[in-house]
Amino acid sequence: MLKVISTKQVRLGMFIQELKCPWIDHPFWKEAFKLVDPADLKKLKNSAVKEIIIDTSKGLDVEELDVITAPSLLADTEARPEITPTKNPIQRPAKISAAAEHEQAKRVIQDSKKAVASMFHDVRMGKTVSAETAMLMVDEIAASVDRNLGALISLARLKNKDEYTYMHSVAVCALMVALARELGLSEAETKQAGLAGLLHDIGKAGIPLDVLNKPGALTEEEFELVKLHPERGHKLLMQANITDEVAMDVCLHHHEKVNGKGYPHKLQAHEISLFAKMGAVCDVYDAITSNRPYKAGWEPGISMQRMAQWVDHFDDTVFKAFVKSVGIYPIGSMVKLKSGRLAVVVDQSPKSLLTPLIKVFFSTASKSRIKIEIIDLSAPGEQDSIDGHENPLAWGIHDIHDIWSQP
């Protein structure tokens, strides 16, 4: 039997079927499990979760049958890590819509892509790289992020195989800036994070292009070769006279995991810097949401859910801050509404992570396209809401990028 109970009533031996809050706010990577660890019980009671659903057929019941019948409230999905505000806040560009930022973001991406390609070429030729030139790119990318992160990130996902490495560097730079803002880092640290994102894969300049762009699975030997890029990148940055400690660290350690099974040094969680933990999340997210020579990218929202299930891969605090920075439903995510329609997210709402601006285009009842309608789920009186993420391919939809990106 399923029961909704207060978190205060939870005790060891219960089988937790569901935590009644957005998955980004609960303290566990798993959804359904038996509560047997006292540390997990303490973690749950100290969390933002107010209610849970238990299955009494698989575990203990409440000691007092005080079942909650009132509607539950969503946990505060806008909560942020505790930070110390800067004494002199930086004046940043005013926020604008994704549609308004679209053309500017395209220009920033094209200019940055060319500059990064030139930088990689110079590194291959043994030339020095200008830190000042790289920082100018970071400033341009950061300004676009401040105006509207989703516009640049969603456009940067549209890569072809020949430009993947360069576009990936631009996208990770943008994601690092947004994550640094979410974590409350200083302006100087945010710029360092952006520079680190831009340069994190510079070591791939020393990997043969036929291996990087191989359309099929890599052989064991080829994979071992690719795994050398962090150390090669660190060496190349030194040769190129890039001495920023954060950029050097992220270049070398963005493939480390908090469980100690990453590379190149198999660092434990406490040995990995905050910036390297940030780099790990941003690098993986852009990689799995982008089309690669050997596979199509995953839908953004589904990618986020799958990353959440990779136990002990990412730092918990950093990952949750990352989700809040790009949105629970990132731009380009396909979602199913409670009305049975399918929609794609086209912008975030300043009111809530759960009520983005969407473009409805498909009826699951008739299994056919319908007239496109733009809906602001945060608008007063709006009755529809998101039921969950959906995989476009499962519905035979292959033009999801075109749907959200076209005016």
Q: Which amino acid does the sequence have at 116? A: V
Share of the chain above pLDDT 70, in %: 88
Burial of 143 (0-12, 13-18, 19+ CB in 10 A): middle
User: What is d(CA 379, CA 61) in angstroms, rounded to the nearest whole number?
Assistant: 40
**Which has more confidence, 296 or 268?**
268
User: What is d(CA 141, CA 190) in angstroms, rounded to the nearest whole number?
Assistant: 12
Q: Which residues contact 55 (CB under 8 A, 6 or more apart)?
A: 1, 2, 15, 17, 32
Q: DSSP character for 264?
A: S
φ, ψ of residue 351 to 5 degrees: the values are: -85, -40
The tens digit of pLDDT for each residue in 180-216 reads 999 999 999 999 999 999 999 999 998 988 888 887 7
Q: Which residues contact 121 (CB under 8 A, 6 or more apart)?
A: none
The tens digit of pLDDT for each residue in 96-132 reads 888 899 899 999 999 999 999 998 888 888 787 778 8
Is 292 strand, coil or helix? strand
> What are the structure tokens assigned to 337, written together?
């509404």
Count of residues making up the chain: 407
Q: Which residues pair with 345 in a beta bridge?
A: 358
User: What is d(CA 82, CA 188) in angstroms, rounded to the nearest whole number?
Assistant: 19
Domains observed in the chain: 2-55 (no CATH), 98-326 (1.10.3210.10), 334-405 (no CATH)
Burial of 187 (0-12, 13-18, 19+ CB in 10 A): middle
User: What is d(CA 259, CA 312) in angstroms, rounded to the nearest whole number?
Assistant: 5
Query: pTM value?
Result: 0.76
State the average pLDDT over residues 248-261: 97
